[in-house]
Amino acid sequence: MNKISVIIKREYITRVRKKSFIIMTILAPVLMTGIIILPTVLMMNGDKNLKKIAVIEDGSDLFKNAIPDTKDADYVYLGNTDINVLKKNFEQAGYYGILYISPEIINTPNAIQLISKNQPPIGLLDHISGSLEKEIEREKLLAYNIQDLDEILKNIRTKVSIQTIKIDETGQSTETSTGIAMALAYIGGFLMYMLVFMFGAQVMRGVIEEKTSRVVEVIVSSVKPVQLMMGKIIGIALVGLTQFMIWVLLTLGIVTVVKTTVLKQGSMTEITRNLPQNIMAENQLIAATPQTAEMSPELVEFSKMFDNAMNQDWLLIITSFIFYFITGYLLYASIFAAIGSAVDNETETQQFMLPVTVPILLGLMVAMGTMTNPESSLSFWFSMIPFTSPIVMMARIPFGVPFWQIALSMLLMIITFIAFVWMAAKVYRTGILMYGKKSSWKELWKWLRYSG
């Protein structure tokens, strides 16, 4: 045991001192924070130039003033101006583009064109199409000679928001959010895939490096090959856990700093002003409590999302993630270690990698489908199969999984990783000292049957 602890210490210290480890440990949280914060920052610091858009209708005034101005765009109605003449000099006239509305738009929804020199932003297109859709609906309803149409439309327009309530076995109910569950399922499944594959591959590379440099010949004179393999696997696992914990802490710190400095209340208000008024009206919350009455709609929605996120069973999620990461890593790391011991260079690993990577990728694909149907038979069976259960089960847990399914999956995981560590150790023991011979699956099977 002392020899294994020495190997673990050596693997851990050697790897955490590498420049690549330090760079990735610092860079990953910055990239992750950028993914989280960048969309909002881009919205806040988007194109501030006011766009003047010339609106031309062919032979009617049906949509005059139907498109409301926004902070980013003014719509100038030019009536029956010749579009061919305006096309030649609309930029010189100070227009960003020309919005041409054909009289056929009532019956042909795509009979509208936005002509410009640049690709228009999606927000601009959504505002125009949304405004015209409402006006077309209004005109069609007017054909039925309904009196006080505007007042009727105002009264009947209703925003429906479905609250999801989960009841546990004791009868206690908690408000949940399918969106939060889907986000946790995606993050949990993808993170499990990335960590297991990344750190498992590091084991294989480490074994190949020691084998090609002949360092392993010196090491195995003092320790057993199995001790060397287990020390390397555990040492790299500790490196992975260290890096993961630093990532979590740094990401939370950076997000907190950015949230309190960049995304202030004033910034959220600025985002609100940039949104078209019809979109904002449709996204207002139906009811407001005295505590949220003075908050902006975005902060109210964020507060509600935060409360729903806190209603998740975080103890089960975190405990399950740690368990499946450790067991999933040990399973795949032992396979990677066996492959690394059987080859002389990384190029030769290609013939062995396909059977290993297919289950991981298959698990990720099933996990993506699990987010839309977590109770399907496909999701169930793949969350039981040990080669895919770390990824798929982490995608199912946020939606709620019966305890017996989690227990059965964990039991199968423990049995499988112990069996594969034992088999990998037998292959590793023979392959680590084998040079100059190209290995195959048949050769690995022979090594696996060696006794002693």
What digits encode the pLDDT tens for the residues 349-363?
777 888 888 888 898
The pLDDT mean for the chain works out to: 75
pLDDT value of position 269: 47
Domains of the chain with CATH codes: 2-39+179-449 (no CATH), 51-145 (3.40.190.10)
Q: pTM of the entire structure?
A: 0.64
What's the whole-number mean pLDDT along residues 151-176? Answer: 63
pLDDT value of position 385: 92
pLDDT value of position 200: 83
Q: How confident is the model at residue 381 (pLDDT cuts 50, 70, 90)?
A: very high
Of 435 and 127, more confident: 127
pLDDT value of position 81: 76
Of 323 and 145, more confident: 323
Of 179 and 99, more confident: 99
pLDDT value of position 289: 46
**CA 341/CA 219 separation, integer angstroms:** 14
- The structure tokens listed for 236 are 């790299």
**CA 24/CA 31 separation, integer angstroms:** 10
> What's at 280, amino acid-wise?
M
The answer to whether 298 and 268 are in contact (CB under 8 A) is yes
The answer to whether 268 and 45 are in contact (CB under 8 A) is no
What digits encode the pLDDT tens for the residues 301-358?
555 555 556 666 778 888 888 899 888 888 888 888 888 878 777 777 777 888 888 8
Give every CB contact of residue 75 below 8 A, 6+ residues apart in sequence: 53, 55, 67, 68, 69, 99
